[in-house]
């Protein structure tokens, strides 16, 4: 058994490294604009991001983990447990290496894309091209294209709504207060629904779709209304300043929303392959349906939180300084669009990139003419790295598998 | 750091516009001194001021080129980028005019300008320079409008533009009166030519400021 445990321990180490990296780098997407717009302090941001990433990972994160551990490489190819766990470890190491390289060279690379690419490489070398679930992979790749566009459209619409129904109106504050319950309510509706549907928590409560929708709606309306009352009490300024102030408070909600979504989606990048290793080590095979153990999700979440605590402040601070042009109304639109996209993708089990969703959102607000100057051309660069990341991670994964194979067999 | 969002936010071209407008304002102050020195026949001070204006013109030119060069394809702005270029063109012509006027003056000694026109010329200079402070204010307020999009801020900008137009109208009247006087009082063709062209170039300053206002009006159109 020492062989399996060696692999498992290595899996934990590299899984933790991936999680740490997500926390250190990608967590800035959620918090930087809030810190830049002075909606929260850096310390608060780090704390909230850490806690909510763990919560998102543990309570909502299972679907994407399933996709990465079981949706890309078909289980039929993984009859030999030894091969399977070495392969999963190679995938994890390959993704970690590529992400390390990207961080070092400051390349706009997504952890989600790296891990998916690495899993594909592992599938190909273990069972040939037929062992990769190409349909699922096509779905994942499609989600990479759709998710930034979706978040772009969402943020565009949100900002246009703010522009049309608040900013250009006469009674600014009344309008802002009037719309705030809808903004808060929608956010909470999506969050509560994602907690209730198809999660261990939801299963335990045994709610059907209609009940959970009703329950979410009721809770969301209550929170929305309560939020409005709180906003009214805490916003003393009037006019344009008052509107930005209101959105500064609302941004607290969306920043949390974003951190939660990120935990839900990105935890899989770290523990997807680890979950696979865990199955084999604890069961000896991949028989039937196995739940992703909560402890693994928690492990990933804590890894992300550790990354945020240790390194996140640097990235958030730098980014926060840079994006001060994002006022509260804009920051709100960006975060709302990106977080909704990522959370919905998580519920569909799609490993999307939080960073790319945020990029899409910024472009959306830019297209709505809300920002003084946004560079659209970054999109071309990002797309280039899509095409580089997947094959690179796949090939690295294959090479590492061969090396490990020589070492262990 | 491998976060692309960082490289998405670019330096705002409005910052450059403001910087350019400040150069125009600085230029205006020195331009006024230069004209005064010229009319008082203080040649040395005139030359010094002329060089300073010329320096500022070069600096403004550099700002202009920087703005134009740093708005590549695929830059998302609150306004169309060519509207910014159009605006900038007009604002830049203002400082160009300063240089033209001073060059024109330098071609002929001051004692050739009849005494009784000197005061009127200075008066015209003040009149065409008057709206330049407004131009700077307009830019600051416009920038705020692009953040808030509020009707209130938009009205403030519109008020600035209206004021610029009004001041151009006043300068126009002065210019016309002065031209009338020149033809009425002067007989020497060379002097008339020198004076008329001087007055016309001075008038252009106010025209370009007004045009800049009009371009701004297009930018804030809903």
In whole angstroms, give the CA distance from residue B177 to residue B170. 11
**How much of chain A is helix, strand and coil, in % rounded to 5?**
85, 0, 15
Position A56 scores a pLDDT of 92
pLDDT tens digits, one per residue of B122-136: 999 999 999 999 999
CA B12 to chain centre: 21
pTM of the predicted protein model: 0.91
- List of chain A residues whose C-beta atoms are within 8 Å of the C-beta of residue B7: 375, 378
User: Between the CA of residue A165 and those of A172, A177, B116, what are the distances in Å?
Assistant: 9, 11, 60
Position A2 scores a pLDDT of 83
Which token pair is A326?
């994002």
Is A359 in CB contact (< 8 Å) with chain B?
Answer: yes
Lowest mean pLDDT among A191-200, A225-234, A357-366, B82-91: A191-200
Is B18 in CB contact (< 8 Å) with chain A?
Answer: no
Which token pair is A308?
């945020």
- The helix or strand, by DSSP H or E, that contains position A374, with its residue range, turns out to be strand A374-375
Optimal mutation site among A356, A373, A374, A386, interface B, most CBs of chain B within 10 A? A373
Indicate the SS3 state at residue B76: strand
pLDDT tens digits, one per residue of A349-380: 999 999 999 999 999 999 999 988 888 888 88
In whole angstroms, give the CA distance from residue A70 to residue A285. 13
**Other Cβ atoms within 10 Å of B100 Cβ, number:** 18
In whole angstroms, give the CA distance from residue A76 to residue A70. 11
- List of chain B residues whose C-beta atoms are within 8 Å of the C-beta of residue A358: 5
Residues in chain A: 409
Residues A388-401, mean pLDDT to the nearest whole number: 94
d(CA B79, nearest CA chain A) in Å? 7
Is B177 in CB contact (< 8 Å) with chain A?
Answer: no
In whole angstroms, give the CA distance from residue A116 to residue A92. 10
For chain A, positions 301-340, list CB contacts with chain B under 8 A: 315, 318-319, 322-323, 325-327
Q: Report the C-alpha dihedral over residues A293, A147, A33, A233, rounded to 10 degrees.
A: -80
Give A210's contacts (C-beta < 8 A, 6+ positions apart): none
In whole angstroms, give the CA distance from residue B128 to residue A92. 71
Confidence category of residue A182, pLDDT binned at 50, 70, 90: very high
Position A392 scores a pLDDT of 95
In whole angstroms, give the CA distance from residue B6 to residue A141. 24
Out of A102, A103, A359, the one facing B5 most closely (by C-beta) is A359
Give A226's contacts (C-beta < 8 A, 6+ positions apart): none
| ipTM of model | 0.87
Burial class (CB in 10 A: 0-12, 13-18, 19+), B54: middle
Bridge partner list, B9: A374
**Exposure of A46 in the CB half-sphere (CA atoms within 13 A):** 16
Position A233 scores a pLDDT of 86
Residue A240 has pLDDT above 60, yes or no: yes
Q: Greater confidence, B143 or A210?
A: B143
Confidence category of residue A40, pLDDT binned at 50, 70, 90: confident
What's the N-to-C CA distance of chain B in angstroms?
Answer: 39
CB B199 within 8 A of CB B85: no
- Could you tell me which chain B residue has the CA closest to the CA of A24? B1
In whole angstroms, give the CA distance from residue B148 to residue B113. 51
Residues A103-123, mean pLDDT to the nearest whole number: 91
E strands present in A174-259: none
Residue A290 has pLDDT above 70, yes or no: no
- List of chain A residues whose C-beta atoms are within 8 Å of the C-beta of residue B145: none
Residue A1 has pLDDT above 70, yes or no: no
Position A61 scores a pLDDT of 85
Position A283 scores a pLDDT of 79
Confidence category of residue B1, pLDDT binned at 50, 70, 90: low
In whole angstroms, give the CA distance from residue A401 to residue A325. 46
Residue A313 has pLDDT above 90, yes or no: no
Position A71 scores a pLDDT of 87
Out of A29, A167, A239, the one facing B5 most closely (by C-beta) is A29
CB A27 within 8 A of CB A49: yes
- List of chain B residues whose C-beta atoms are within 8 Å of the C-beta of residue A370: 78
Q: A167–B11: do the CB atoms touch at under 8 Å?
A: no
Optimal mutation site among B76, B141, B156, interface A, most CBs of chain A within 10 A? B76
Out of B77, B78, B148, the one facing A167 most closely (by C-beta) is B148
Is B11 in CB contact (< 8 Å) with chain A?
Answer: yes
Residues A306-320, mean pLDDT to the nearest whole number: 88
Bridge partner list, A375: B75
Indicate the SS3 state at residue B75: strand
Residues B5-15, mean pLDDT to the nearest whole number: 86
Cα Rg of chain B (Å, integer): 20
Position A31 scores a pLDDT of 85
Give A50's contacts (C-beta < 8 A, 6+ positions apart): A23, A304, A305, A308, A309
Residue A6 has pLDDT above 60, yes or no: yes
d(CA A317, nearest CA chain B) in Å? 11
In whole angstroms, give the CA distance from residue A297 to residue B17. 52
Burial class (CB in 10 A: 0-12, 13-18, 19+), B116: exposed
Out of B2, B11, B153, the one facing A102 most closely (by C-beta) is B2
Confidence category of residue B111, pLDDT binned at 50, 70, 90: confident
Confidence category of residue A181, pLDDT binned at 50, 70, 90: very high
């Amino acid at each position: 058994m020492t062989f399996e445990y060696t692999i498992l321990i290595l899996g934990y180490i590299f899984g933790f490294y991936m999680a740490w990296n997500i926390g250190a780098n990608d967590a800035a997407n959620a918090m930087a604009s809030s810190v830049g717009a002075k909606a929260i302090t850096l310390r608060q941001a780090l704390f909230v991001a850490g806690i909510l990433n763990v919560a998102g990972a543990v309570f909502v994160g299972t679907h994407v983990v399933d996709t990465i551990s079981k949706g890309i490489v078909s289980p039929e190819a993984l009859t030999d447990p030894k091969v399977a766990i070495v392969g999963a470890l190679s995938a994890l190491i390959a993704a970690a290496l590529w992400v390390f390289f990207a961080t070092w060279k400051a390349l706009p690379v997504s952890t989600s894309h790296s891990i998916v690419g690495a899993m594909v490489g592992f599938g190909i070398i273990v069972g040939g091209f037929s062992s990769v679930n190409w349909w699922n992979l096509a779905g994942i790749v499609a989600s990479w294209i759709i998710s930034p566009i979706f978040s772009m459209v969402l943020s565009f619409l949100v900002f246009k709504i703010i522009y049309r129904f608040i900013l250009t109106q006469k009674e600014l504050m009344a309008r802002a207060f009037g719309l705030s319950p809808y903004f808060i309510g929608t956010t909470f509706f999506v969050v509560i629904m994602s907690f209730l549907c198809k999660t261990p928590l939801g299963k335990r409560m045994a709610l059907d779709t209609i009940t959970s929708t009703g329950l979410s709606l009721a809770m969301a309306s209550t929170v929305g209304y309560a939020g409005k009352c709180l906003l009214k009490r805490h916003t003393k300024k009037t006019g344009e300043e008052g509107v930005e102030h209101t959105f500064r408070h609302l941004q607290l909600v969306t920043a949390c929303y974003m951190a939660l979504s990120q935990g839900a989606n990105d935890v899989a990048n770290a523990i997807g392959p680890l979950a696979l290793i865990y199955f084999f080590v604890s069961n000896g095979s991949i028989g039937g349906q196995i739940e992703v153990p909560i402890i693994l999700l928690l492990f990933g979440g804590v890894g992300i939180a550790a990354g945020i605590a240790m390194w996140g402040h640097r990235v958030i601070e730098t980014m926060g300084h840079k994006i001060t042009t994002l006022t509260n109304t804009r920051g709100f639109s960006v975060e709302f669009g990106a977080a909704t996209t990522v959370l919905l993708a998580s519920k569909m089990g799609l490993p999307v990139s939080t960073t790319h969703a945020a990029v899409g959102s910024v472009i959306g607000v830019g297209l709505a003419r809300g920002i003084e100057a946004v560079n659209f051309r970054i999109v071309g660069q990002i797309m280039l790295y899509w095409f580089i990341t997947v094959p690179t991670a796949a090939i690295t994964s294959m090479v590492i598998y061969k090396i490990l194979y020589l070492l262990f067999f | 750091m491998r976060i692309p969002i960082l490289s998405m936010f670019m330096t705002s071209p409005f910052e450059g516009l403001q910087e350019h407008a400040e150069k125009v304002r600085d230029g205006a102050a020195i331009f006024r001194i230069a004209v005064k020195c010229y009319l008082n026949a203080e040649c040395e001070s005139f030359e010094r001021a002329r060089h300073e204006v010329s320096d500022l013109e070069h600096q403004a030119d550099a700002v202009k080129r920087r703005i134009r060069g740093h708005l590549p394809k695929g830059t998302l702005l609150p306004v169309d980028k060519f509207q910014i270029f159009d605006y900038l063109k007009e604002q830049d012509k203002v400082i160009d005019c300063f240089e033209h006027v001073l060059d024109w003056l330098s071609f002929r000694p001051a004692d050739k300008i009849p005494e009784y026109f000197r005061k009127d010329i200075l008066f015209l200079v003040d009149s065409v320079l008057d709206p330049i402070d407004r131009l700077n204010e307009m830019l600051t307020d416009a920038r705020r409008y692009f953040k808030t999009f509020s009707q209130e801020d938009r009205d403030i900008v519109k008020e600035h533009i209206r004021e610029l137009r009004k001041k151009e109208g006043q300068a126009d009247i002065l210019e016309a009166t002065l031209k009338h006087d020149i033809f009425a009082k002067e007989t020497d063709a060379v002097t008339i030519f020198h004076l008329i062209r001087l007055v016309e170039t001075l008038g252009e300053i106010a025209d370009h400021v007004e045009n800049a206002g009009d371009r701004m009006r297009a930018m804030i159109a809903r």
